[in-house]
Structure 1
Amino acid sequence: MPLLAVVFDLDGVLIDSEPVWEEVRRGYVADRGGRWLPDTQERLMGMSTVEWARYIADDLIDGVTAEEVAYEVIDRMTQRYQEALPLLPGAETVVRRMAAHRPLGLSSSSPRALIDLVLGKLGVDFLFRATVSTEEVDRGKPAPDGYLTVAAQLEVPARACVAIEDSSNGLRSAHAAEMTVIAVPRPAHPPAPDALALAAHVADDLDEITPELVEVIHK
């Protein structure tokens, strides 16, 4: 099956957002008198908004609802992104390079408001034919729902897509959707070995991702 689309993740691929998410959520939990556990950040990566808000409300903080958690944390994240967008090197260039080659999609665990804010500030929102937040599907990563939905919106089979991911749950999600996966691991949060093994190619950075590469690994 020929390659018909390229699907990006957002957090950890185009923006170095995980440190911001961790700082904001840690600060929120601390402000509410909660407890941040040793495995909290790893557990939160890839969760949908509903999932991480429920986890924080149920396991980390007393006397707060998941809805309150989501609203207040996303508001803090919006303020941080409006102040400065933590772009990763080559982010805008790789999006434009790949958009000139194949239709683009995006499947992200970020809430819709942050997806639209980031792509708009980056000036590439018009290059994506489909974008999906896992808050808009039944299950977050590592389930394949987000990737399957973006493929459906692009009107292509998931097997005809290459996905670009960084995290363990993201790699598992794209692979479960039967997409060919490129891993671009972040040193601060390296994926688990079993998840990394699902990738057809491991790239050192975004500059390595080219039309030639995606065509070769998809065959």
Structure 2
Amino acid sequence: MTAHRILSWTPAAVVFDCDGTLMDTERHWVDARDAVLHGYGYAPAPGFSEQARGLHYTACGRLMADSVGRPELADELTTSLLERFRELVAAHPTTMPGAPELVRSAAQFAPLAVASNCPLEVVESCLDVAGLRRFFDHVVVPDTTTRPKPHPDVYLTAARLCGVEPDRALAVEDSQCGIEAAAAAGLRVIGVGPRPSGPQNAKADWWVESLDEPAVQGWAGARIPAQGSRPGSAGHGTR
């Protein structure tokens, strides 16, 4: 068991995933994928939802097209997917249980960043609506030089922007795709949600069902300095 690597340690930076970790948006991706496929006359294949979880939306669009045997529709499906997702997020923005509290506590002892596969404007909008944007020093998303998860690039960039080596930073992730990215970058990882079985289990140092668990909140609260917040906290930088 490697949970002690988190519980006995104070990270020099904390990097959060957004979808499904900070914001309850994974259900919006599922609904958006289903709606788009149904609009084209298709139904998701068994197991598709798990395959698509955490993927960059362009990779998801390609997967959707391939799964129905219509690879030529990849660009159309990708565009429709992102449009539908944005509509759903705007209509129902919701934070994950315990996420705001953990962010507020962590911001008092370490610089914070978000590393997401979503477009920057979507992440920024979600964080703004949730009242969390001001706590994050950096938001990192894929671009022409930064590959999406499961590549380690967004986590490597987030650690660098926070001014720490990756092994001194903590990642908080809910998807296997994201956990693989963070682990490959060298960060210690809290995995959030149902604990997977098999070799996937070993990628995260500590698995928790939810960020509102007392053990998680207590761990973060115990690291808050006695005299207020860390110097220079609550920046507003972006990638």
Band the TM-score falls in, shorter-chain normalisation: 0.7 to 0.9
> Is 2:151 the counterpart of 1:128?
no
Q: Structure 1 213/28 Cα, relative in aligned 2: closer, same or farther at 3 Å? A: farther
Q: Mind listing any 5+ residue stretches in structure 2 that lack a counterpart?
A: 1-8, 225-239
> Is 2:220 the counterpart of 1:211?
yes
Identify which of 178, 198, 205 aligns with 1:200.
Answer: 205
Q: Secondary structure of the residue that 1:74 maps to in structure 2?
A: helix
- 1:101: which partner in 2? 109
Structure 2 Cα separation of the partners of residues 107 and 73 of structure 1: 21
Structure 1 Cα separation of the partners of residues 180 and 113 of structure 2: 18
- 1:150: which partner in 2? 158
Which moves more between the two structures, 20-29 or 62-71?
A: 62-71
Identify which of 57, 60, 67 aligns with 1:49.
Answer: 57
Shift of 1:64: 5.5
State the TM-score, normalizing by the size of structure 1: 0.85
Which moves more between the two structures, 200-209 or 124-133?
A: 200-209
Q: Structure 1 114/191 Cα, relative in aligned 2: closer, same or farther at 3 Å? A: farther
Q: Secondary structure of the residue that 1:126 maps to in structure 2?
A: helix
Shift of 1:120: 0.8
Contact preservation (8 Å) 1:49, 1:134? no
Q: Secondary structure of the residue that 1:134 maps to in structure 2?
A: coil
Q: Mind listing any 5+ residue stretches in structure 1 that lack a counterpart?
A: none
Contact preservation (8 Å) 1:166, 1:191? no
Q: Structure 1 192/170 Cα, relative in aligned 2: closer, same or farther at 3 Å? A: farther
Runs of 4+ off more than 3 Å: 61-67, 134-139, 190-193, 212-215
Shift of 1:192: 4.6
- 2:22: which partner in 1? 14
Contact preservation (8 Å) 2:105, 2:221? no
Identify which of 74, 82, 91 aligns with 1:83.
Answer: 91
> Is 2:116 the counterpart of 1:111?
no
- 1:33: which partner in 2? 41
Which moves more between the two structures, 75-84 or 57-66?
A: 57-66
CA RMSD after TM alignment: 2.5
**Counterpart code for 1:50:** T
Aligned length: 212
Contact preservation (8 Å) 1:106, 1:128? yes
What is the CA deviation profile of residues 157-201 of structure 1, one whole-angstrom value per residue up to 9, with x for unaligned ones? 11110111122222111111110111111x4xx545322322222
- 2:4: which partner in 1? none
Larger radius of gyration: 2
